[in-house]
Amino acid sequence: MVTFVDRVTLHLRAGKGGNGCVSVRREKFKPLAGPDGGNGGNGGDVVLVADPQVTTLLSYHHSPHRGGGNGGFGMGDNRSGALGESLELPVPVGTVVKDTAGSVLTDLIIPGTRFVVAPGGQGGLGNAALASPKRKAPGFALLGTPGWEGDVVLELKTVADVALVGYPSAGKSSLIAAISAARPKIADYPFTTLHPNLGVVQAGDVRYTVADVPGLIEGASEGRGLGLEFLRHVERCTALVHVLDCATLEPGRDPLSDLDVILAELAAYPVPEGQVPLMERPQLIALNKIDVPEAQELAELVRPDLEARGYRVFEISTVSHAGLRPLTFALGEVVTQHRVALEAEPVAERVIIRPKGSQKEFTIRVEGGTYGNIYRILGDKPLRWVQQTDFQNEEAVGFLADRLDKLGVEDELFRAGAEAGSTVVIGEGDGVIFDWHPSLSSAAELMNAPRGTDPRLDLNPRRTTDQRRERYHERMNAKAAARADLEAERLSGESESDL
């Protein structure tokens, strides 16, 4: 049974925005007193929250599909729809959020940090909000837009001050159990520890956390075994403690060769940009199991060689607790020095991002097609406007045409070489496809037409009085000419009979 998960893929769907309402206020003695349709509610967000009480991503491993609540529909009497319920997902401190391509979206290393990973959809405006002095009674409302939907990857990297690294069965779990209140699984076979364990150590006035990283083997940095999964938890540690087994019975192994193998794996593991490489961090040596006489002799033999390399060496026993106090106080000194150095560093200047007014809000891409060029309009704003449009309502389609024209889409289509009848697509993929007609633009607000219709979209325009009069005279003239021809034929027939 899985008890610890440090990497999971979440399938998220934010809430959809509610549709706006089309309504006209009706009162006694005041028929059609103006639009009063309310706005739709925004969809609920999906928010990640760094929670110190959460230590694993196990719950998301079993239930990876999560979603926010949908917004309510707008109603008459200017009543707005209910807001969709946001979903908060607590994750362990130290969780890195990535997209499916591997790009880092955020790093939740501070407790309480909140990150909106899937924003909810925008609620549509009702016809009351769309009313203006030129459009006093809109017969349409805007639809709600769908919320963000996609996959994100959560990757847990343990946040600790000190990491215990070494071969399997070197005594790392026993060490963290001896110096803290942690109670990891301890047994006399390799790979007993399958996930990192955290323990809090009190050394005098200094309190710090220690992470028991599962055992490493040769080739771990290249993915052998579960090395990459384990090395990820060493990235955030301030100092490393190499726990070396001085009582191993495996042939060809000794503390010096074990250290060389672990150092090679640490050097080969790439850390994220901006972090100190693992080999450049403070490192201490703990020669373990000196309660065994042969191990005590081996520790005394290899200690001068290790000190010659520049390491601080401590001979310890997790069984008799020998040498543990000097080790914990030495680690406390290293952690304190690191914390003082961090406080002395200048605070990074806060970056303020301001929108650029000159930035183009859409682009037009010309694509070749079987029956001519296809002009594809790309941009967040045109795509959102299309999602908000009810294409069963002529007035709403005319409103969309006006918005696109004011944005400058029509001018750009002319520059791109589009002609009347050209195929235009808004959005990626299939998108919304229509035949472009330049005449379908300009001043829909000034046109008088029944609510819910747009005269520019009328395929059978009504004839004017002059046109009907002209058509009437044409019919009358044609009838008169036909009667004249019949009369002429009758007269010619009578003349022939007289002869």
Binding-site residues for Mg(2+) sit at 173, 193
Query: With contact defined as beta carbons under 8 Å apart, do 279 and 285 qualify?
Result: no
Rounded Cα distance between 243 and 159, Å, is 20
Pairwise CA distance, residues 103 & 482, whole Å: 83
In our burial notation (b when 16+ CB lie closer than 10 A, e otherwise), range 269-280 reads bebeeeeeebee
In the annotated binding site for GTP, the residues are 166-173, 191-195, 212-215, 288-291, 317-319
Copy the structure tokens of residue 346. Answer: 């200048």
Contacts 24+ apart (CB under 8 A), 295-304: 295/246, 295/247, 296/246, 298/246, 298/247, 298/254, 298/255, 299/246, 299/255, 302/246, 302/254, 302/255, 302/256
Cα–Cα dist 328/313, whole Å: 12
* Listed residue (175, 152, 151, 150) closest to 162, CA to CA: 175
136 vs 387: CA distance, rounded Å? 24
Q: How far apart are CA 308 and CA 285, in angstroms?
A: 12
User: Is the dihedral angle over the CA atoms 400, 401, 406, 410 positive or is it negative?
Assistant: positive
93: its two tokens:
């401190």
Q: What residues have CB less than 8 Å from 293, skipping those under 6 apart?
A: none
Reported as half-sphere exposure (CB side, CA atoms, 13 A), residue 270 has a value of 4
Q: What DSSP assignment string belongs to 159-213?
A: --SEEEE-STTSSHHHHHHHHSS------SSTT---S-EEEEEEETTEEEEEEEP
Taking CA 441 as the corner, what is the angle to CA 435 and CA 446, rounded to the nearest 5 degrees? 145
Q: Which residue ranges make up the annotated binding site?
A: 166-173, 191-195, 212-215, 288-291, 317-319
Contact 476, 468 (CB under 8 A): no
